[in-house]
Amino acid sequence: MKRVWIDTDMGFDDLAAVLTVAQTPGWRIDGLSLVAGNAPLEVVIDNALRAAAYFGWDFPIHAGCARPLAGELVTAQNILGADAMGSAGRSLPPARAALADVDAVGALGCYLAAAGEPAALLALGPLTNIATLLRQRPELAARIAPLMWMGGSAGPGNHTAAAEFNAAVDPEAINAVLDAGVPLQMVGLDACRQVRVHAADADALRALGTDKAEVLADLLLGYVRIASSDGSLPMALYDPSAAAALVAPEGMRFRPAHVVAECQGEHTRGMTVVEWRVPRRATANALVASVADEALLRRVVLDALAQAARAA
């Protein structure tokens, strides 16, 4: 059994990513830590606890950092909606699971320290929780292998012309994680945009005819409509592509690179500067996703959503 801890700012694509891992045979989620990003922390918590109750998750869920290491929190609610789960119809039911008593940073620290071998982490939002932990307990960097992160970009951004959203929220956290020596695998915008989802995929989910199928189809269609209000254009699968790359590593090709986050630039704060010319110009400190197998990664994600939709 392969095991992973997931750190997330729970919106719909985060939910799809968690379901991708949860529904993949041979994988176990040991815990979920929550961070502000897509929405303020209290909204992220509500999303996660409602998802846990609806899908029957049995792993602990821990509340983490409510703001980035530096500066004020910027959310994606202007794009994703107030609850970061814009829907074409139904949403997650209001019933909530219980939140664990231990905060996310403490819980993740205990988890890593107790693991018999370096543990896999899947990060789907700003890296604030992980950076905060490593500032407090730098020795735990050696207990992480790998850290798969959906964030950054080796090309243009989406939050700004230069910066991807997760990176823009907390660029200081990126540098703290890299400086700690964590083996980072960065799945950025340029890789995720190679994997797309369509309105027809929501129709296929809906055709399964269950209550969960109806909810997931409405949420998926709401997500697709981010790209076009009528759903006629495909939408990139962001967080689920990183999850699929974790459970099906043959679906994503990575290249060694040196990555640093820009923290000062007036127009470039949050930009992930990727130096591909290693080792000639710099020493590699990360693996950066470059080529995605769209057919494979789509199948992994959509099959997982279908399995979740069929579950009692």
- pLDDT tens, position by position, 192-207: 999 999 999 999 999 9
How high does pLDDT run on average in the chain? 98
- pLDDT tens, position by position, 221-266: 999 999 999 999 999 999 999 999 999 999 999 999 999 999 999 9
Q: Which two tokens stand for residue 86?
A: 């814009």
Look up residue 242 and give its DSSP letter.
H
Percent above pLDDT 70 for the chain: 100
Q: What is the mean pLDDT of residues 64-71?
A: 97
pLDDT at residue 257 in the model: 98
Cβ-based neighbour number of residue 249 at 10 Å: 12
Which residues are CB-contacts of 32 (< 8 A; sequence separation ≥ 6)?
Answer: 5, 6, 7, 8, 18, 48, 52, 57, 59, 60, 61, 62
Q: What is the mean pLDDT of residues 43-54?
A: 98
Q: What is the mean pLDDT of residues 264-285?
A: 97
Asked if residue 21 has pLDDT above 90, the reply is yes
Q: What is the mean pLDDT of residues 99-121?
A: 97
Q: What is the mean pLDDT of residues 129-135?
A: 98
pLDDT at residue 312 in the model: 75
What secondary structure does DSSP assign to 158-223, as a single string? SSSSS--HHHHH-HHHHHHHHHTT--EEEE-HHHHTTSEE-HHHHHHHHTT-SHHHHHHHHHHHHH
Distance CA 186, CA 246 (A): 11
pLDDT at residue 305 in the model: 98
pLDDT at residue 54 in the model: 98
Structural domain spans, the chain: 2-310
Asked if residue 92 has pLDDT above 90, the reply is yes
pLDDT at residue 113 in the model: 97
Distance CA 159, CA 77 (A): 12
Asked if residue 19 has pLDDT above 90, the reply is yes
Which residues are CB-contacts of 11 (< 8 A; sequence separation ≥ 6)?
Answer: 38, 39, 47, 76, 80, 84, 85
Distance CA 178, CA 76 (A): 25
CATH tag, 2-310:
3.90.245.10
pLDDT at residue 203 in the model: 98
- pLDDT tens, position by position, 167-190: 999 999 999 999 999 999 999 999
- pLDDT tens, position by position, 206-221: 999 999 999 999 999 9
pLDDT bin (cut points 50, 70, 90) of residue 84 is very high
> 3-state DSSP call for residue 108?
helix
Q: Full-prediction pTM beyond 0.75?
A: yes
Distance CA 85, CA 181 (A): 34
Residue with tokens 């071998």: 117
